[in-house]
């Protein structure tokens, strides 16, 4: 979480509704990366643990995992709403011991035809490729997470790197239940421009270009 006062309450309320049991069976942990708004105050009463971690998604997710106690860890971005069946869906997927982890289908909280097409293509592509982005609420067995050494603490593409490594240890469950996420970067930068940028960054990352170098490129074209 970082400066998400407008979204974090709804996100945590949805998680609690989708995973209502408190304690080790459904522990809600928020990692703040140094918010300057009211995010921390809003989140504090809606989670089981709130900690401050070093800024950066990979770093913050690792920090949250380090203080968690469950056998399965799910990572939800601060602007994402999980379905009411969230915990049940994950439990059902993990009943198959061949599954290392998985992700949800995604839809934007905007009904425009262009964004509906984008979310459909994201879900379809990830199902075909058995891949995922962080926007799809990635979940993973703790033993797998620890074997992988967690997320790479890199500036970009930590989700691409993680799911690629997770695939080597088991199946990726591509759940058809949908999470709802914010399309703000798509609206800010435009659908076509965002698609092109994302494909360039991912392709260069997979080709071996360093995340630090990609971060400079990403910042230049935002």
Average pLDDT of the chain is: 91
Q: Name which of 25-39, 93-107, 112-126, 202-216 the model is least confident about.
A: 202-216
pLDDT band, residue 128 (cuts 50/70/90):
very high
**Angstrom distance (rounded) from CA 172 to CA 126:** 10
Which position has the higher pLDDT, 49 or 188?
A: 49
CATH of the structural domain 8-221, one choice from 3.40.50.300, 3.40.50.720, 3.90.550.10, 3.30.1600.10: 3.90.550.10
Model-level pTM? 0.92
Phi, psi of 67 (to 5 degrees): -105, 5
**Angstrom distance (rounded) from CA 85 to CA 89:** 6
Q: What's the CA angle centered on 107, arms 212 and 82, to 5 degrees?
A: 85
The mean pLDDT value for 112-117 works out to 91
The pLDDT, as a whole number, for residue 24 is 53
pLDDT tens, residue by residue, 15-40? 999 987 644 568 999 999 999 999 99
Res 208 pLDDT > 90: no
- Annotate 112-140 with DSSP letters as a single string: -HHHHHHHHHHHHHHHHHT---GGG--EE
Res 221 pLDDT > 50: no
Return the domain boundaries, the chain: 8-221
Res 90 pLDDT > 90: yes
Contact call for residues 126 and 195 (beta carbons, < 8 A): no
pLDDT tens, residue by residue, 145-195? 999 999 999 988 999 999 999 999 999 999 999 999 998 888 888 888 888
Which position has the higher pLDDT, 216 or 73?
A: 73
The pLDDT, as a whole number, for residue 127 is 95
**Angstrom distance (rounded) from CA 121 to CA 127:** 10
Contact call for residues 192 and 121 (beta carbons, < 8 A): no
**Angstrom distance (rounded) from CA 38 to CA 11:** 15
């Amino acid at each position: 979480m970082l400066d998400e006062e407008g979204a974090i309450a709804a996100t945590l309320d949805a998680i609690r509704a989708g995973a209502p049991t408190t304690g080790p069976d459904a522990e809600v942990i928020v990692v703040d990366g140094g918010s300057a708004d009211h995010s921390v105050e809003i989140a504090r009463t809606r989670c089981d643990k709130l900690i401050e971690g070093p800024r950066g998604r990979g770093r913050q997710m690792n920090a949250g995992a380090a203080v968690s106690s469950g056998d399965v860890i799910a990572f939800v971005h601060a602007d994402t709403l999980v379905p009411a069946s969230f915990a049940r869906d994950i439990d059902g997927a993990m009943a198959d011991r061949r599954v290392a982890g998985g992700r949800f289908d995604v839809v934007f909280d905007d009904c425009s035809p262009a964004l509906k097409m984008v979310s459909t293509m994201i879900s379809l592509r990830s199902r075909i490729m058995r891949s995922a982005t962080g926007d799809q609420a990635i979940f993973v067995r703790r033993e797998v997470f620890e074997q992988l050494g967690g997320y790479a603490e890199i500036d970009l593409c930590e989700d691409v790197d993680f799911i690629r490594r997770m695939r080597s240890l088991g199946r990726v469950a591509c759940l058809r239940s949908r999470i709802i996420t914010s399309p703000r970067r798509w609206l800010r930068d435009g659908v076509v421009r965002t698609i092109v940028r994302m494909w360039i960054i991912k392709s260069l990352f997979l080709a071996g270009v360093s995340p630090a170098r990609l971060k400079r490129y990403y910042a230049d074209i935002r």
